Amino acid sequence: MERIKRMIVLFFFLPFVVFGASGCGDNRINPAGIAGPSTTTTITLDSSQDEDLKLVKKYNSDLRGGKATRWDKPVVTVYDSTGLFADLQSVLNEWNAVLAGRMILAIGNSHDKDIEIKINDSIIKCGQATYFIYDSKIYAADILLKNFNDSFCFGSGSLLNPKKILMHEFGHVIGFGIGNGSSDDHNNDGGLMTISGGNGRITDEVSRMLNRLYSLVLGTIII
């Protein structure tokens, strides 16, 4: 029923929807969208002399039509409908440390959620994140995971684990590599946001990019 409701909303607003997606090596992200007020800022920044802004351009705005795309609220709530992540707060704490107070991820509930974590065995890869974006504003997101009994994703021979995939997908839903499912949505520094999740660590490049992103006015054009 929830999926049907979402499809109804999507088609109702279809003339206004801008689709956005990002992809992962073991995590495929499908596009979705929702309508809202348009971003009206005309701020344009030159990234040529700003190394952190170059990262925002590469891993965010270039994937979103040239505009800095992110959440536009001080607190984004997260609901784990699987009930399987007893250590969810520790995951949020790691990303909150990166965001340094510019935005806070907080545990919500079924009635108060911007991001929902779900089990969905119909997805092709081990994890998937779906964004609801209009213009350059993220309105909502879902993080979908294969069932933890899936032997390919979480078997004894796998380098993956549910927490690592969850951490990786959070990186996407807060703005890193929020593109169209290509390899451009990932970096290659061996850390969490590589296409395979790497060593599972949030690297300096990812931290700098996200911190700079959330210092920008929503919809800032980066050249």
pLDDT tens, residue by residue, 111-152: 999 999 999 888 888 888 888 998 899 999 999 998 766 666
Model confidence, pTM: 0.82
Q: What is the pLDDT of residue 11?
A: 27
The answer to whether residue 207 scores a pLDDT higher than 50 is yes
**11 located within any domain:** no
Within-domain flag for 2: no
Question: Is 6 part of any domain?
Answer: no
Strands 137-145 and 127-134, sheet pairing? antiparallel
Any domain includes 12: no
Phi, psi of 25 (to 5 degrees): -55, -55
Instruction: Indicate whether 45 belongs to any domain.
Output: yes
Q: Highest-confidence range of 18-32, 80-94, 124-138, by mean pLDDT?
A: 80-94
> Total structural domains in the chain?
1
**Predicted confidence (pLDDT) at residue 5 exceeds the cutoff of 80:** no
Is residue 116 situated within a structural domain?
A: yes
> Domain with 112 in it: what CATH number?
3.40.390.10
Q: What domain range includes position 99? A: 18-222
Closest by Cα among 85, 52, 89 to 68: 52
Average pLDDT over residues 42-52: 95
Say whether pLDDT at 91 is over 60.
yes
- pLDDT exceeds 80 at position 2: no
| pLDDT on residue 211 | 96
| Residue 5 included in any domain | no
Q: Where are the beta strands (DSSP E) in the chain?
A: 44-45, 70-71, 75-80, 104-107, 115-119, 127-134, 137-145, 221-222
Inside any domain, residue 35? yes
